[in-house]
Amino acid sequence: MKLMPFNFEPLDEESYFISNIAGFSSFVNLKQLESIIDFGQTFNPELDRLLENKLFISAPSSVNTAIASLASALGKRVTIGLEFKPIFMIVPTLRCDHSCKYCQVSRASINASGFDLDKKLIPKIIDTIALLSTPPYKLELQGGEPLLRFDLVELIYQLAEEKLGGDSIEMVIATSLSLVSDEIIDWARSRNVVFSVSLDGNQLVHDKNRIHPSGNAYQLAINGIKKIQSQLGMHRISTVTTVTDELIKNPLSLLDTHKALGLLDLFVRPVSPYGFATTRSSVNYSMQEYMQFYAQLWDGIKQYRAQGLPFVEHSAAIHIKKLFVPGFSSYADLKSPSGVVLNCVLFNYDGHVYGSDESRMLQKVNPQLDFSAGTVGEISFADSDYYKNLTSASFNFLHPGCENCAFLPFCGSDPCQNISMQGEPIGDKSLSTFCEYHKSMFKFLVNKYNTSADDKSLIEDWIHA
């Protein structure tokens, strides 16, 4: 048997995770790994057959076929990754009634002027969306707090409905829910609208970093969630959790908070290291501490599942799909080429158009440079050196550090984060928070998959989550 190119990652003293550029993966022990490298086989016929079927080794007479197969699989992956399937983000206002400590976008204060989207731009925005994409259209309203300008939200929906068709649009409103009124609920009732709210834990945890002048950010969020659930249905609301120093110490509180609301879907992630977030005092934990937290959360989820509460944590589910579902490439923040432009077009309140939420943050921090692709009505990503370079610098199989990483086919790249942290789009992976976080998650999950039947079946469940 002949050895084909693959990467490996030690999970513990004994076990190794192996993968190749085609996205096949498997587990071997150290002795087997050494034997594959020395002899092109493990001498265990069943394992050798598996390794051959997954293109880790090849019969001498089939080496060319194996090479052609690896190449075809890589080509397929890159082609799927290059599909232009953007979510359209619109920022009706940068103003916000909260002043959260880890806020990534540096919001504007509630009474500031000049931070709202000009009404006249909305028809042009919708025209641009119609021009750029095909149904179904995903619109995501970001802030600031979009509901401060509910009139604009209504107008955006109305024009989108007229131009794109009511059945072809789906709107997500990212909001803290402090302003969700009966009027808004009534409006949403017959429309394809869902709400996404930050919920960072119980009252203590949540209110520590999410600051509303009333001092009651948590209660406002909870009231809003319940209102939406009871009047619009459970599926109309989802949560996003940003892990802070407070939650790190008490992972299970997050599950209790969700359980009390009948919410069984979580989306948990560490604080983003962008721009403003880390300069504040809300994050002092290391990635190691984060993963300890995550392991406890995982165990908690397992316990609840055993009691019949099928919690799903979607960050893990995304990593799992990347590992086990060939062709899964729809999550903008974990793909290569990166999701910038390809999976996101953002219309900012000031009329500038960006290829990602992170690009508008870079803009905010570096006002002397232009990170936009122009303004509404006059955009061109193709003419923008920034976006061209960003995309071509986001193929991770060409990145030093990634090219010999066993998670390469499943991982992604975040050129904006690298620019923000290291001043250029590729970045030194040994210094990259993106790398540290995703490598930790992948490693955590494949290790669980390999060592416990329970965990394995949980992971297989989440493939379909």
Partner 1 sequence: MPEVLRNDLFERAAGESKLSGFYVLRKCQPLIPGFLPQVIVYENSSTVINPETPALINSELFRAIEDGDIANINPNGKIRVILSRRANHNTLLLTERCDNRCQFCSQPPKDGDDSWLLEQAILAICAFNLDGEIGLSGGEPLLYRDDFIRLLDTTIEHAPRTRLHILTNGRAFADLSFTKSVAQRTEHLSMSFGIPLYAANSAVHDKLVGAEGAFNETVKGIINAGNSGINIELRFIPTSENAQELPFVAEYANRVFTNINQISVMNMEPMGWARKNWDELYLHPLEYPLILEYAAKITRQNSTPLYLFNYPLCQLPEHLHELSVQSISDWKNYYPEECSSCSMKSQCGGFFASAKGKFLQSPQRYI
Q: Which residues bind partner 1 (CB under 8 A)?
A: 22-24, 49-50, 52-54, 59, 61-62, 64-65, 68-69, 72-73, 75-76, 79, 321, 324-328, 463-464
CB of 2 to partner 1, least distance (A): 12
Tell me which residues in 418-437 interact with ligand SF4 (CB under 6 A): 429, 435
Choosing among partner 1, ligand SF4, none, which partner's interface includes residue 73 (Cβ < 5 to 8 Å by kind)? Answer: partner 1
Residue with Cβ nearer partner 1 (76 or 364): 76
Identified binder of ligand SF4 from the candidate list 145, 439, 445, 448, rule CB under 6 A: 439
Shortest Å, Cβ 413 to ligand SF4: 7
Q: Give the shortest CB-385-to-partner 1 separation in angstroms.
A: 32
Q: Residue 235 CB, nearest distance to partner 1 (Å)?
A: 22
Give which of partner 1, ligand SF4, none residue 22 binds (C-beta under 5 to 8 Å, depending on kind). partner 1
Does 352 bind ligand SF4 (CB under 6 A)? Our answer is: no
Q: Which is nearer to ligand SF4, 379 or 402 (CB)?
A: 402
Q: Report the site for ligand SF4 in 361-420 (rule: CB under 6 A).
A: 396, 401-402, 405, 407-408, 411
Residue closer to ligand SF4, measured from CB, 169 or 435: 435
Minimum distance between the CB of residue 326 and ligand SF4, rounded to whole angstroms? 17
Distance between CA atoms of 438 and 422, rounded to whole angstroms? 18
User: Which CB, 64 or 113, lies closer to partner 1?
Assistant: 64
Residue 411 contact partner, candidates partner 1, ligand SF4, none, CB within 5 to 8 A by sort of partner: ligand SF4
Q: How many residues bind ligand SF4 (CB under 6 A)?
A: 11
Closest to partner 1 by CB, 19 or 257: 19
Interacting partner of 103 out of partner 1, ligand SF4, none (Cβ under 5 to 8 A depending on kind): none
Chain residues in the site for ligand SF4 (CB under 6 A): 396, 401-402, 405, 407-408, 411, 429, 435, 438-439
